[in-house]
């Protein structure tokens, strides 16, 4: 039995997780250099990308110089793999050493190589409170996709036993969780809620879950509070993709996802691939220290923001502040990307808005940003306008105007962000 305080304390690898900024740069520079040399020899797909960018092996030794390599888009993978099957020349080991081959729509294939722990999921499970001796229900899909398999391996390395239940069959999952005395859960947050409700409905006492690692969908704070307050479950989320594995995880603080030391995450301009300063929204572009399948500057198509301020847990890595939508939904205003989800956040913060539309326009050589809002019946216009202007500054890092319009002005089903700029 692990006590709840112990689940919040400690590190999987204290030295690595508390590196100074310069120590982290050196650590990442070292593995990046070694990884590229290894891939240059054994993964012709990686070598072709470097050569096409006019780069030699010695040209990419740190994060800054890595940015010279163009981002590889996920959408390019099917054609690359078709041209050089099965893995597009990105796999460094012969097929005889590949343990599993995963398949994503596209189609895109991903290999699991011979080494254990290549996906670096252990620090995230530890930070999320999983400990040796936990019995963990893994409800992610085991069919074709890698997440469940990678997680099982990491949990075993932590000393946890896995019950591989996979997706669906809620009643049976509740019965299995009870019979096994499962203390941990892995899966989507919504399915955890489904299991807890089903357990209530069936009677027979509470499930024994104490920790949960959730992912693959947004995880609202309201749901996290329900897990914690009503069920005593410490639920933490991670961010990953099939191609990269999990690259960021929450600690006990639950305020942003620490980026792995074995991943170099750059938040980039989705059109040019250039890294953006901390605090700006952009595409998550990652390079992961996976020696079997080295994805170098892989563009996920997902948006996030990074906070490089200190975290009370003592880990020193920057934190990704949640998933902020897809890169193909962003609009650039005065050099900053804005996203419909940011607009939702602004409106939710201020309250009193029945409907809204963000209009991006152009006056002279300046972009303009205007929130057109229809107020709820009880809302006071005198309060809404300044509150909203403040929220726009906080969330979008831009100055924006607020225009209150009469109810019924905004068209039903209109786009949240309307870009009216013309560029003739
Ligand atoms: Zn932390």
385 burial type by CB count under 10 A (0-12 exposed, 13-18 middle, 19+ buried): middle
pLDDT digits (tens, 9 = 90+) for 326-355: 787 778 887 777 888 889 999 999 999 999
Percent of the chain that is helix, strand, coil (3-state, to 5): 35, 25, 40
| Residue 14, number of CB atoms within 10 A of its CB | 11
Please give the pLDDT value at position 334: 79
- What digits encode the pLDDT tens for the residues 134-143? 999 999 999 9
Instruction: Give CA–CA dist 220/241, Å, rounded.
Output: 20
What pLDDT does 106 receive?
A: 78
Specify the higher pLDDT residue, 4 or 339.
339
Q: Quick check: 3 pLDDT over 80?
A: no
- Report the sign of the C-alpha dihedral through residues 326, 150, 180, 166, in that order: positive
Query: What's the 88 CA to ligand 1 centre distance in angstroms?
Result: 37
Return the pLDDT at 338: 86
Distance 416 CA to ligand 1 centre (A): 34
Distance (angstroms) between ligand 1 centre and the Cα of 182 equals 26
pLDDT tens-digit readout, 73-126? 888 899 999 999 999 999 999 999 999 999 987 788 999 999 999 999 999 999
Q: What is the average pLDDT across 29-56?
A: 95
Give mean pLDDT, residues 398-411.
93
Average pLDDT, the chain: 92
327 C-alpha to ligand 1 centroid (Å): 26
How many distinct helices (H) and strands (E) make up the chain?
A: 14, 21
Distance between Cα 259 and ligand 1 center (Å)? 10
CA atoms within 13 A on the CB side of 242: 20
Contact in structure between 360 and 369 (CB atoms under 8 Å): yes
| pLDDT value of residue 178 | 97
DSSP annotation of 275: B
Centre of ligand 1 from the C-alpha of residue 167, in Å:
30
Q: Please give the helix or strand (H or E) that residue 27 lies within, else none.
A: helix 21-42
Q: Are 182 and 137 in contact (CB under 8 A)?
A: yes
Residues 34, 51: Cα–Cα separation, whole Å: 18
**pLDDT band for position 266 (50/70/90)?**
very high
Residues 58-86 have a mean pLDDT of 92
Characterize 306-336 residue by residue with b for buried, 16 or more Cβ atoms within 10 angstroms of its Cβ, and e for exposed: beeeebebebbbbbbebbbbbbebbbebeeb
Model pTM greater than 0.85?
no
- Quick one: which of 125, 113, 149 has its CA closest to 288? 113
- CA neighbor of 281 nearest in space, from 266, 267, 292: 267
Tell me how far the alpha carbon of residue 321 lies from the centroid of ligand 1, in angstroms. 12
Residue 424 confidence (pLDDT) above 70: no
Each residue's pLDDT tens digit, 229-238: 999 999 999 9
The C-alpha torsion from 410 through 415 and 418 to 423, rounded to 10°, is -140
Burial class (CB in 10 A: 0-12, 13-18, 19+), 272: exposed
pLDDT grade, residue 423 (50/70/90)?
low
Q: H or E stretch including 337?
A: strand 336-338
pLDDT of 1 = 63
Distance 279 CA to ligand 1 centre (A): 17
What are the tens digits of pLDDT across the range 200-211? 999 988 999 999
Question: Do 247 and 288 form a contact (C-beta atoms < 8 A)?
Answer: yes
């Amino acid at each position: 039995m692990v006590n709840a305080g112990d689940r919040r304390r400690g590190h999987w690898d204290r030295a690595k997780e508390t590196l100074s900024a310069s120590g982290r740069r050196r650590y990442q520079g070292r593995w990046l250099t070694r990884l590229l040399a290894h891939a240059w020899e054994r993964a012709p797909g990686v070598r072709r990308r470097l050569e096409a960018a006019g780069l030699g092996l010695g040209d990419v030794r740190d994060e800054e110089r890595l940015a010279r390599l163009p981002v590889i888009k996920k959408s390019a993978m099917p054609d690359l793999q078709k041209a050089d099957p099965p893995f597009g020349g990105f796999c460094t080991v012969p097929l005889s050493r590949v343990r599993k081959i995963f398949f994503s729509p596209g189609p895109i294939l991903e290999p699991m190589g011979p080494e254990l722990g290549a996906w670096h999921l252990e620090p995230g499970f530890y930070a999320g409170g999983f400990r040796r001796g936990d019995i963990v229900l893994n409800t992610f899909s085991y069919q074709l996709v890698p997440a469940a398999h990678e997680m099982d391996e990491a949990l075993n390395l932590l000393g946890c036993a896995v019950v591989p239940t996979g997706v669906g069959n809620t009643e049976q999952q509740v019965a299995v969780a009870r019979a096994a005395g499962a203390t941990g859960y892995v899966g989507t947050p919504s399915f955890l809620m489904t299991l807890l409700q089903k357990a209530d409905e069936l009677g027979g006492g509470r499930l024994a879950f104490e920790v949960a690692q959730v992912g693959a969908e947004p995880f609202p704070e309201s749901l996290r509070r329900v897990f914690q307050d009503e069920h005593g479950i410490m639920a933490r989320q991670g961010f990953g993709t099939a191609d990269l594995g999990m690259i960021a995880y929450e600690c006990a603080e639950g305020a942003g996802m620490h980026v792995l030391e074995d991943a170099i995450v750059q938040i980039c301009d989705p059109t040019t691939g250039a890294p953006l300063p901390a605090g700006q929204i952009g595409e998550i572009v990652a390079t992961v220290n996976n020696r079997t399948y080295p994805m170098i500057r892989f563009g996920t198509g997902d948006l996030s923001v990074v906070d490089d301020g200190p975290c009370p847990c003592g880990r020193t890595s920057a934190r990704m502040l949640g998933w902020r939508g897809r890169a193909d939904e962003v609009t650039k205003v005065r050099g900053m990307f804005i996203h419909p989800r940011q607009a939702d956040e602004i409106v939710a913060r201020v309250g009193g808005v029945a409907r809204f539309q963000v209009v991006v326009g152009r006056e002279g050589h300046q972009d303009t940003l205007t929130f057109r809002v229809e107020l709820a019946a009880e809302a006071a216009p005198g309060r809404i306008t300044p509150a909203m202007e403040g929220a726009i500054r906080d969330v979008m890092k831009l100055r924006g105007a607020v225009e209150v319009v009469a109810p019924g002005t905004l068209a039903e089903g209109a786009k949240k962000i309307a870009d009216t700029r013309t560029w003739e």
